[in-house]
A = this chain, B = another copy of it.
Amino acid sequence: MRQQPGRVTSDLTISADGYSAGLDQTEKRPFGDDGGDGTGEKLHAWMFDAPDENRPEIERMAAAQTYIMGRNMFGPVRGDWDRPWNGWWGDEPPFHAPVFVLTHHAREPQPMGGGTTFHFVTDGIESALAQAHAAAVGGDVAVQGGATTVNQYLAAGLIDELRLHIAPFTLGAGTRLFDGVPPLNLEQVHARATGLVTHVTYRVLS
């Protein structure tokens, strides 16, 4: 019997003007000019400064069985894998699951501590999703980011549920959610605000 695939979700923290990261990412500043120190700490203050208040949203993010991310979310290396890079997250990344990294440059799978393995997918977003579904054996797949990757999946009609976490500042430039995505009809299925963020969950209708 074939397993039914799970849902495809995406959690993205954005500024009030829709940016998930600023311009000019570097190794020391994975979020670039993000209105803070480049580590995304201002965007993600809701997770790190007020985890108790935002516990349901944090737990829901971690409920996915597998993850998909873009090359820039994985790291600052461009082109060939010509220097060692195993992600921004140290020896034990917080995913504890297979993570499928979109890239144009082939690389062997990279097992990490705590159950995370990075798989590198060179044949496109549909292939990455098929592999992520297979590895999730019926569980949810999360398109982790960044916005460029989320936009590709949205444009292809492949995301079921989009969970936005809107932080109270604007960036003015960077990588923007919905850029280049044809108009979408959404159903607002849940929303609530805590001190530092507004959470909105949309079901993507078309």
Q: Which residues of A approach B to under 8 Å, CB–CB? A: 16-18, 35, 164, 166, 168-172, 177-178, 181-188, 190-193, 195-198, 200, 202
Number of copies: 2
Q: Which listed residue, B18, B169, B177, touches A184 by the CB 8 Å rule?
A: B169
Nearest B residue to A178 by beta-carbon distance? B17
Residue numbers in B under 8 Å from A200 (CB-CB): 16, 166, 193, 198
The answer to whether A17 and B18 have CB atoms under 8 Å apart is: yes
Show 6 A/B contacts (Cβ-Cβ < 8 Å), sorted by A. Answer: A16-B202, A166-B200, A172-B178, A172-B182, A191-B193, A191-B198
B18 and A168 form a contact (CB under 8 A) = no
Contact B35 A178 (CB under 8 A): no
Q: In the complex, what residues of B have CB within 8 A of residue A177's CB?
A: 17
Once bound together, how far apart are the Cα atoms of A17 and B197, in whole Å? Answer: 17
- Our pick among B169, B195, B196 for the contact of A185 (Cβ within 8 Å) is B169
Whether B186 lies near A196 (C-beta < 8 A) is no
- Cβ-defined contact, B170 with A184, below 8 A: yes
Contact (A181, B191) CB under 8 Å given A16-B186, A202-B16: no
Query: Shortest CB–CB separation between residue A80 and chain B, in angstroms?
Result: 35
Are B198 and A170 closer than 8 Å at their CB atoms? no
**Which of chain B's residues have a CB closer than 8 A to the CB of A197?**
188
Point out the residues of chain B lying under 8 angstroms from A178, CB to CB.
Answer: 16-17, 170, 172
Q: Which of B169, B188, B192 contacts A186 (CB 8 A)?
A: B169
New A-B pairs, 7, CB < 8 Å, besides A16-B178, A172-B183, A190-B193: A16-B202, A17-B177, A17-B178, A168-B185, A169-B186, A170-B181, A188-B197
